[in-house]
């Protein structure tokens, strides 16, 4: 088999048994890897509670991992989210993904619950479980320093994951994170502190010349993209280069989305971060884009969502406070988006947003579930419901919204709601055409045509997450180049349309799982604020409330395009039985 190894490692923490299993070739060809393979591996267990010992936690590589394909040193982690209850996947890059594929497997499936804190050590020679009591309670950086060597990579949780914070991360040794949805809490519930992996096995390549041609075409498109490599592109300033753009478009979420402009946003823009921290380029292993930024001492600097949410969303203009909050969240093992958004909802509840001086104390209390942190650790939806003000949670399906106000981009408004994992900008990323004007510009204040665009983008991104590649690469390249590369690696011919059909299968499988777990049309909507309150109009830009009737109309159109009923259900109740 080319590209894939064709096997997985199943680790049962309850019994301590580790065994290798073959993966059917039909699954790999129909779901690729990463997100798609993880979703397929949950077929028999998707209905389980996220904290049920039997609930799998799947680390899945892609068919391009270990090859020269750009941005392919990534994996997806898949399970059911304790924060949202949805089927959930999260992608992360770095050497851990590279070495997991190098250990000779396409997926690691972890079930059960250890009686004591444990760690998993994995190499091409096999897997062992070791006691981890001495590491339990340690923060992430101390854990990684204790375990990681030059030939090994670590994925670990911090105190937040151990204590069941519902938006706890799994952190990778090089600073990447499985950052949203609380999969770190799933890992902590299994009492698995860390995974240490080494390996250098490379997959066989069916057609090296075809792979090389696709790679060369892709690199030319990368270099030609002003969004990637322009003077103000993400390779130059990282994702905080979006700060000034979102401010100018008047769609920067401010004070729990009560406003959409933060006057002091320039304090934490890409150029401001570079000036204050002399930031240098950084990024995932083997990636030519290098979108991340770090200090000369190697400290990872925050990305756009983090600077905006610890900044504007909480009314904080202090860059150094924002950077400290980012560093602390990473060390404690918490999602910066949900942590900051929960603090913002809490700030509106109490009538005062947290100051720059108190944020880090609140984050520590949140991770340790002490004092106010006990309720904050549950996320904004549970926090606001308990206070009798659920409308203050700026979330969809329980997942806190990222830093794009939907009143300023109607495709984004629809995409937040149709996303299977909840309020996420990355399932369809309509910002690419509504704001960045790629591949073609669309009217951001119109729903016209957005249903079909979102459907196609969701299918495409499901494929990207299953290859597993970086979404930023699609600001330059397309499925055509990735189809050429995948065909060269595996020896199977994949056209762009083939890849979109695979993405559609993955998306619909996730939706089937969610509907079976009690989700419905009522969950595919925005918080009421966006339909009743205007954004911050000015400078010739009008930001009115979203027309709810027009939103509902476009949502029904989206359901019909997807082949669903008008209320978003499956016409064939046994749809799943017809899938590979």
Give the per-residue pLDDT at 285.
85
Confidence of residue 286 (pLDDT cuts 50, 70, 90): confident
Q: What is the pLDDT of residues 210-235, one digit of tens each?
A: 999 999 999 999 999 999 999 889 99
**270-277 and 319-332 are packed helices; what angle lies between their axes, rounded to 10 degrees?**
80
436 assigned to some structural domain: no
301 assigned to some structural domain: no
Mean pLDDT of 289-313: 94
70 assigned to some structural domain: yes
Q: What is the pLDDT of residues 554-579, one digit of tens each?
A: 999 999 999 999 999 999 999 999 99
147 assigned to some structural domain: yes
Total count of domains within the chain: 1
Determine if the pTM surpasses 0.85. yes
Q: Is the pLDDT of residue 350 over 90?
A: yes
CB 246 within 8 A of CB 308: yes
CB 369 within 8 A of CB 163: yes
73 lies in which domain range?
7-197
Give the per-residue pLDDT at 67.
95
Give the per-residue pLDDT at 376.
98
Give the per-residue pLDDT at 491.
97
Q: Could you give the percent of the chain with pLDDT greater than 90?
A: 95
Confidence of residue 175 (pLDDT cuts 50, 70, 90): confident
CA atoms within 13 A on the CB side of 438: 19
Q: Which long-range contacts (CB under 8 A, 24 or more apart) does 120-126 make?
A: 120/11, 120/192, 120/194, 120/195, 120/196, 121/195, 121/196, 121/197, 122/9, 122/195, 122/196, 122/197, 122/198, 122/199, 123/197, 123/198, 123/199, 124/199, 124/200, 124/201, 126/18
Mean pLDDT of 426-431: 95
355 assigned to some structural domain: no
Residue 172 has φ and ψ, to the nearest 5°, of -100, 150
- The enclosing domain of 66 has a CATH number of 3.60.9.10
331 assigned to some structural domain: no
Q: What is the pLDDT of residues 487-501, one digit of tens each?
A: 999 999 999 999 999
Q: What is the pLDDT of residues 432-459, one digit of tens each?
A: 999 998 888 999 999 999 999 999 999 9
Q: What is the pLDDT of residues 403-414, one digit of tens each?
A: 999 999 999 999
129 assigned to some structural domain: yes
Give the per-residue pLDDT at 260.
98
Give the per-residue pLDDT at 272.
97
Mean pLDDT of 533-543: 97
CB 187 within 8 A of CB 198: no
End-to-end Cα spacing for the chain? 19
302 assigned to some structural domain: no
């Amino acid at each position: 088999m080319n590209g894939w190894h064709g096997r997985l490692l199943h680790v049962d923490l309850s019994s301590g048994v580790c065994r290798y299993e073959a993966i059917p070739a039909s699954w790999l060809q129909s779901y690729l890897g990463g997100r798609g393979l993880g979703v397929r591996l949950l077929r028999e267990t998707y209905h389980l509670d996220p904290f049920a010992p039997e609930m799998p936690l799947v680390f899945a590589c892609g068919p391009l991992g270990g090859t020269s394909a750009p941005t392919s040193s990534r994996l997806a982690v898949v399970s059911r989210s304790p924060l949202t209850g949805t089927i959930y996947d999260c992608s992360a890059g770095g050497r851990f993904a590279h070495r997991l594929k190098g250990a000779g497997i396409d997926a690691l499936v972890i079930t059960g619950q250890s009686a004591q804190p444990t760690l998993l050590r994995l190499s091409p020679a096999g897997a062992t479980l070791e006691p981890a009591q001495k590491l339990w309670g340690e923060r992430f950086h101390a854990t990684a320093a204790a375990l990681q060597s030059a030939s090994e990579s670590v994925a670990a949780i911090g105190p937040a994951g151990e204590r069941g914070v519902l938006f706890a991360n799994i952190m990778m040794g090089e600073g990447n994170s499985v950052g949203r949805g609380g999969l770190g809490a799933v890992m902590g519930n299994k009492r698995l502190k860390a995974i240490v992996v080494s390996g250098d096995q490379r997959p066989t390549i069916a057609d090296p010349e075809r792979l090389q041609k696709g790679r060369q075409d892709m690199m030319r498109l990368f270099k030609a993209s002003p969004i990637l490599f322009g003077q103000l592109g993400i390779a130059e300033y990282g994702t905080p280069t979006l700060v000034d753009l979102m401010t100018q478009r008047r769609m920067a979420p401010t004070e729990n989305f009560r406003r959409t402009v933060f006057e002091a946003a320039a304090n934490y823009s890409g150029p401001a971060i570079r000036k204050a921290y002399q930031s240098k380029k950084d990024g995932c292993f083997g990636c030519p884009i290098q979108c991340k930024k770090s200090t000369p001492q190697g400290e990872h600097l925050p990305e756009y969502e983090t600077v905006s949410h610890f900044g504007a969303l909480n009314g904080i203009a202090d860059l150094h406070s924002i950077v400290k909050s980012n560093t602390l969240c990473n060390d404690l093992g918490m999602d910066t988006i949900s942590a900051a958004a929960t603090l913002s909802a809490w700030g509106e509840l109490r009538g005062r947003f947290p100051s720059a001086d108190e944020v880090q104390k609140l984050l520590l209390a949140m991770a340790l579930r002490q004092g106010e942190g006990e309720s904050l650790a549950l996320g904004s939806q549970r926090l606001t419901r308990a206070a009798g003000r659920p409308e203050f949670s700026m979330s969809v399906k329980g997942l806190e919204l990222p830093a794009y106000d939907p009143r300023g981009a109607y495709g984004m408004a629809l995409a937040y709601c149709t996303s299977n994992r909840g309020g996420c900008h990355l399932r369809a990323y309509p910002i690419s055409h509504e704001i960045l004007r790629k591949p073609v510009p669309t009217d951001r204040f119109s729903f016209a045509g957005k249903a079909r665009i979102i459907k196609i983008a969701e299918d495409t991104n499901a494929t990207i997450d299953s290859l597993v590649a970086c979404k930023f690469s699609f600001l330059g390249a397309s499925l055509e180049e990735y189809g050429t590369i995948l065909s060269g690696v595996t020896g199977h011919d994949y056209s762009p349309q083939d890849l979109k059909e695979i993405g559609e299968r993955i998306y619909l499988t996730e939706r089937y799982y969610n509907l079976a777990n009690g989700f419905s049309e009522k969950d595919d909507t925005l918080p009421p604020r966006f339909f009743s309150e205007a954004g911050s109009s000015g400078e010739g830009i009008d930001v009115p409330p979203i027309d709810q009737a027009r939103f509902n109309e476009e949502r029904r159109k989206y359901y019909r395009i997807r082949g669903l009923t008008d209320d978003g259900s499956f016409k064939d109740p046994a749809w799943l039985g017809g899938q590979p």
